[in-house]
Amino acid sequence: MTEFELIAITTFGLEALVKEELKEIGYKPTKVENGRITFRGPKEAIARVNIYLRCAERVLLKMGEFIATDFDELYDQTRELPWSDFLTEDAEFPVTGKSARSQLHSVSACQSIIKKAVVDNLKKEYQREWFEENGSLFSIRFSLINDRVILSIDTSGEGLHKRGYRELVTDSPLQETLAAAMIKLSRWDGDRILIDPFTGSGTIPIEAAMLGKRIAPGLKRRFIAEKWPFLNDTIWNRAREEARSMIKKDYEPRLIIGNDIDNEVIGIARHHARKAEVEELIHFQKKDFVDFQNSRKYGYIITNPPYGERSGKRETVDRLYRDMGKKLLPLDTWSFYILTSYPEFETLFGKKASKRRKLYNGGIECQYYQYYGPWPPRDKNSLKIEGEK
């Protein structure tokens, strides 16, 4: 097999971003659905997309797709798939999945049927009755929605938000993939100062620095598919060498700043920046938002402030958002990108956003409020508004 059908799984709302990422890496999406983007590529694509994708959650190797309304159909069609092309004789292959709006609604029953079908397929191919499952891990996943079954094998292992730099825990951390998406949606490209005034563990500044320096997010971590025999070390080594060659050695953004009121949290953010090898690009400092000020003519605020879902009282959050409006709106040449689930945010902030986008943070439905400021003049006759094309 020279080409595989692959699926990039993503958080709802980020499908268009992941589609564009795949195009940038060199793969043309064939189907875009809620939470998944299907595309095709050679086996090298499995390594490259795992290493390069910033906004996707994981990459799956698609095995088959069919309609099943009873367990006989599920078993028969699963058994016919080419499992032995991928699963070794000693493979460990647990089955997990989900079912929604389908006649086969029992997840545990579907797991059992799919497992039995795969075992029976391997029995025929390997001419044996028992499999010890003490070899490489091939995690089989199924999605059963409206009676449509999609069977796949996970190539990533841990979610792709696990970059490898975030070791220490803080309250309500922002997932790395979502932070990267917030930056990409803002179109920040390192030409202006970027400040996160509620930086927490430093995820937004770190992801901005990695994006600006072109450090592939998966460069330093390992993936479950690296132990699959048909994906040899050469494939993964080449993909990592390619990624390393694209890093900007002399990248110097004007400034990336992360502020937080908690000094201990700032220490954690600095530790994470060191692990990500972008410490020299970010200035972390202990600072209460009430003391926020900046004299730069143009700049970006990209932030995920507290919104009362996990911490803080309503009165405290109300006061914070009013303070944000008082501090930020006078900076009329700046751009603001603010993620919150708080429904009254615009009222408290004092201005309607140029654009809103629904995103999910840890299962919480949020709005990404985007306030477009003007681009710095390219010449004496141009002053483009950021949201304009």
The domains located in the chain, with CATH, are 4-154 (3.30.2130.30), 176-215+238-371 (3.40.50.150)
**Mean pLDDT across 13-25:** 97
pLDDT of residue 30: 97
With a cut of 60, say whether residue 325 has pLDDT above it: yes
Quick one: tokens of 103?
A: 């006649």
Q: How confident is the model at residue 386 (pLDDT cuts 50, 70, 90)?
A: low
Per-residue b or e along 323-350, where b marks 16 or more CB atoms closer than 10 Å to that residue's CB: bbbebbeebeebbbbbbbbbeebbebbe
pLDDT of residue 169: 75
pLDDT of residue 389: 39
**Mean pLDDT across 2-13:** 95
Task: Give the C-alpha separation, 370 to 263, whole Å.
Answer: 29
pLDDT of residue 1: 54
Find, among 178, 210, 224, the residue nearest to 50 by Cα.
224
Q: Which residues contact 53 (CB under 8 A, 6 or more apart)?
A: 8, 18, 21, 22, 25, 59, 160, 217, 218
Q: How confident is the model at residue 226 (pLDDT cuts 50, 70, 90)?
A: very high
pLDDT of residue 250: 84
The pTM of this model reads 0.92
With a cut of 50, say whether residue 50 has pLDDT above it: yes
Query: What tens digit of pLDDT does each residue of 257-295 get?
Result: 999 999 999 999 999 999 999 999 999 999 999 999 999
